[in-house]
Structures are given as C-alpha cells and as structure tokens.
Amino acid sequence: MILVVNFGGQYAHLITRRIRDLRVYAEILPYTKITLKMVREIRPDAIILSGGPSSVYELQAPKIGKWILSLGIPVLGICYGFQLIAAMMGGEVRRSKGEYGPTKVKILDRSGLFEGWDEEETVWMSHSDHVASPPQDVIVTAISENGYIAAFKHRSLPIYGVQFHPEVKHTYKGSILLDNFVKIAGSSRDWTENRMISLIKEYLKRELEECSSISSAVSGGVDSTVATFLVNQFAGDRLTSIFVNHGLLRKNEPEDVLNLLERTGINPIYIDASKEFLSALRGVKECEKKRKIIGELFVKVFSKSLKGRDFDCLVQGTLYPDVIESGGEIGADRIKSHHNVAGLPEWIKSKVKVIEPLRYLYKDEVRRLALHLGLSKEIVERHPFPGPGLAVRIIGEVTEEKLSIVREASAIVEKVLRKKGFYNKVWQAFASVGDDRWVGVKGDTRVDGYIVTVRIVESEDAMTADWYELPSDILEEISKRITSEIPQVTMVTYAITTKPPSTIEPC
C-alpha cells in the first residue's frame, strides 16, 4: 500500500483516489497521527506528502519529522509537501507572486517520474510560495514558465517533489507521473471491487458488533443504498431503514425512490415530513443556517419515526467529499456543512454510534461497488443530490413558489438531457433560483419574473468540476421550455464557472 500524509490540502484525498485508480491500495492519515513507529508497523511501499494551505516558514505550519526522508522507501512531495521536503533538506522557500491554474513546465529530466512526458507539458498549479533555493543533494527536473522550480529528485535517495498537482485532471499527464511513482514503489496492483468489499465487511463486522438496534436513512441515491445494502448483510432484523421526504426532493422523487428501493430488496418506512421542514425554514435566508436546520430536524423526524424505539447505531452513506468540505479533516477549511457530517446535531452524536462504511470512498468507487453487488443501473446512474435537497438550490428564503420553480426547472433540464443523450455524460445537472428579478414580456404583458440559473458540470469526484459545454441548440431548448412552462420565470442563465473557485451547488 501507499500512505498519503494529509497536510490539510483540498486535493489530499484526490491523491489517494488517483493511486486507487491505478489499482493500488492507498490510505490517508493526517500529519498529526503519523509516527515513525506507526510507519514501521504499517510498512508502506511509499509515502506521498500532500499539499496544504500553510506556508512552511510559519510558526504553526504543519510539520513531520525528518525521519520520513531516511526510511529507504520512495517519498513524493506535492505542492506544500514539495516545499516541506525542500525546507527539511536545507533548501529555501519564499513567498512569490504565485502560480494558479494551467501552467506550462519544461521537463529537464524525462526519466523516473517524468517517463512518458514531453519536453513541455501543461500542469495545474495552486501555490503562492516557491522553492527559491533547492537543497544541495537534489537535481532540478522541471522548471515552470515563470522560472520557478517545478520538480526535483534526490541524487541518491528515492525522494521526489513536484510543485504542481498531478492528482488533478488538469495536469494532463498527472496519472502517468503517479503511475511511474507506483512503479518506483513496486506496489501490487490488487485494489479491486472484491478487496473494497472485503475491507468494508471487516469494518462493519467490527463496528456493528455492539449495535443492538440499527437505523439507516435511505434516499434512493447510490451512496445510502449501497451503505444500507452492505449493512443489511450483517445486521439482519436489527436494521430499520427509513426514507424521510423533507419536501425538498426532485419532481416525482418519493414515488421513484420507493419503487427503486423495493426492487433492491430494501423496504423502508416512509415518512412525509414536508410541512415540518418548510415551516422550520420559513424566513431563513443564510445557507449554513438552512443546512443546520435541515440536519437537526432530519434526525428528530428520523428518531420520531421509530415510534419510541431506541437505536444505538446510525448508518449513513457519507463519502469523502462530504467530509473534506465539512472540515472533517485536520487542517482543512470548512466550505459547507453537510447534513450527514458536520450537520449532525451534538445530541445525536453523543447518543448513537455513526456507521459510515463508505466514508473514504469516492462516488466512482461506490458506483463500481453497486454494479459489482448487482444493484440496478437506475440507482448507479442517478445524478448526485444534496442531502438538504432543493433548499441549497434556492438562494435566500425557501418559499413554496421558489421551491416549485426550481423543482420544475430541474425536471426540464434532466428531461432534455435524457432525450438528447447527455444525461449520463455529465456529473450533475440542475436549476437554481434566487430573489433576483428580470423584466420580461409574456403574451404582450409586462412580467416581473425570476431568473433561473442552469448548472451542468462534468467531474470525476466532485472535488473539482468543469462547466459542461452543452450544444447551443440544447441550451436553447432548455431555456425555451423553462420560460414557457414556468410562468414566473422570465430569464434563464447558464453557469460557466469551474470548481474551484465556485462550488457545484449554489448554497
């Protein structure tokens, strides 16, 4: 296996995922938990030091012992990890004007890590510090278009560093570089669906041992369905599944979800709590507050639905992007509170044990598992949907009018994409609405209508995302249908901002 040390970088777990894509098992641990004794016990084939938001010369900057460089196994530093290696070996790191986004680099040594690269390549940079003076015992292997050191390797030890992010797909040959590192490490390529399931089952067997009554919240999405399906193999009659309709679901979703789950062998208790959620959200405009209210009320409704039966374990289909965006990793900044991570109220955290069998998997791995387990393609291919539902696609207060608009507009977006054969080509597609207005004319009458923004993105893991360049005739059809079928809408816009700097969901 390969060990990834997390220094709080937004892409830290993406490194792990890229290594797993190469069929090599990778684990990630925060820098605060890494010790020499632990590493000797784990005996990884190699170690990767992730990026992070800090500067190595800051007093409280995350550090790791210099012993990491004398283990005799390959070590690769990425971005902050690259600068940290340079500083530990006597190099100098300074503040610079920085490099962000696509950047050209000149490869000076095309062996080792850069085997298979051309003399000039485009990589993804995201740094404000740079290695001003390299350590004495390294060879500079790449220079950026701005003259900064972009990579180096040690003259005699298997120690490497790159300033750019090979784990991000915008570094076009990043996977080749990581594959070269795997070859250098000599790792076995045995990370398969069977091994994933084996590890999850080991986790569940251990974690469920003391659970007397287990509850699972299912939404019909691939994450909660796979999590519940796997737990059910161990829990038997100890497991009670519940589907809560919080009134913030997509068009016809309650009926569709119940049918899908029934075909999968999951028969949840159905709770319609639409009125309770809409009442609780009345007058609330701030995004984080909406997420917190929904998370708290969800657990209350969920608990009440068990009709007084106590449960000591709660199953959730949490994935890693949820964890990292909720600031669940040491050193990571909180971007959003997800209802199934940071959105859980303290009273439930102290009362029950949360079981998250998919916590360190990415969406594509879960989808592969679902197909491997024999679940239907309808479940596997459904677009991701946020736990707080359409509430986070409404900017400002959640009103019945705006809820109806965003529900109908999103349904139109999905219908057109399915009809034109684009639904399965994109990661997510939906509409959002806020309080902004645009004057329009309908039937020769002046209308003060809403602005609907359509968001369609392509992604591999939700950690980064690109807006999808949909053909203009399809965009035109979506716009015409929304403005003609939804009387309150007079303008349709298309979101063309990537993640980062934007997030996928507007709220």
**Catalytic annotation present for 167:** yes
What is the rounded CA–CA span in Å between residue 477 and residue 486?
A: 14
What is the rounded CA–CA span in Å between residue 378 and residue 222?
A: 9
Sign of CA dihedral 164, 169, 170, 174: positive
CB proximity list for 474: less than 8 A, separation 6 or greater:
416, 417, 420, 422
**What one-letter code names the amino acid at 13?**
H
The CA-CA-CA angle for residues 57, 108, 146, to 5°, reads 50
Distance between start and end Cα atoms, the chain: 38
What is the rounded CA–CA span in Å between residue 208 and residue 33?
A: 25
What is the rounded CA–CA span in Å between residue 293 and residue 307?
A: 22
Instruction: Work out the number of other CB atoms within 10 angstroms of the CB of residue 92.
Output: 14
Q: Of 167, 207, 253, 408, which residue is the catalytic one?
A: 167
Q: What secondary structure letter does DSSP report for 31?
A: G
Token pair in block for residue 494: 């298309």
CA-wise closest residue to 46 among 25, 17, 22 = 25
What is the rounded CA–CA span in Å between residue 142 and residue 405?
A: 52
Instruction: Annotate 144-190 with DSSP letters as a single string.
Output: ETTS-EEEEEESSSSEEEESS-TTSTTSTTHHHHHHHHHHHHT----
Q: Of 127, 130, 165, 246, which residue is the catalytic one?
A: 165
Residues 228/219, Cβ–Cβ less than 8 Å: no
Q: What secondary structure letter does DSSP report for 462?
A: S
Residue with tokens 């009442």: 279
Cα dihedral: 183, 188, 189, 191 (round 10): -140
**Catalytic annotation present for 165:** yes
Residues 9/52, Cβ–Cβ less than 8 Å: yes
**What one-letter code names the amino acid at 166?**
P
- Hey, which bits of 88-164 come out as E strands? 92-107, 120-133, 138-144, 149-154, 159-162
Q: Of 79, 287, 313, 507, which residue is the catalytic one?
A: 79
What is the rounded CA–CA span in Å between residue 232 and residue 216?
A: 10
- Hey, which bits of 345-483 come out as E strands? 353-355, 428-442, 445-458, 466-467
Instruction: Annotate 389-402 with DSSP letters as a single string.
Output: GGGGGB-SS--HHH
Residues 495/465, Cβ–Cβ less than 8 Å: no
What is the rounded CA–CA span in Å between residue 469 and residue 466?
A: 9
Give the residue numbers annotated as catalytic, written as ranges. Answer: 79, 165, 167
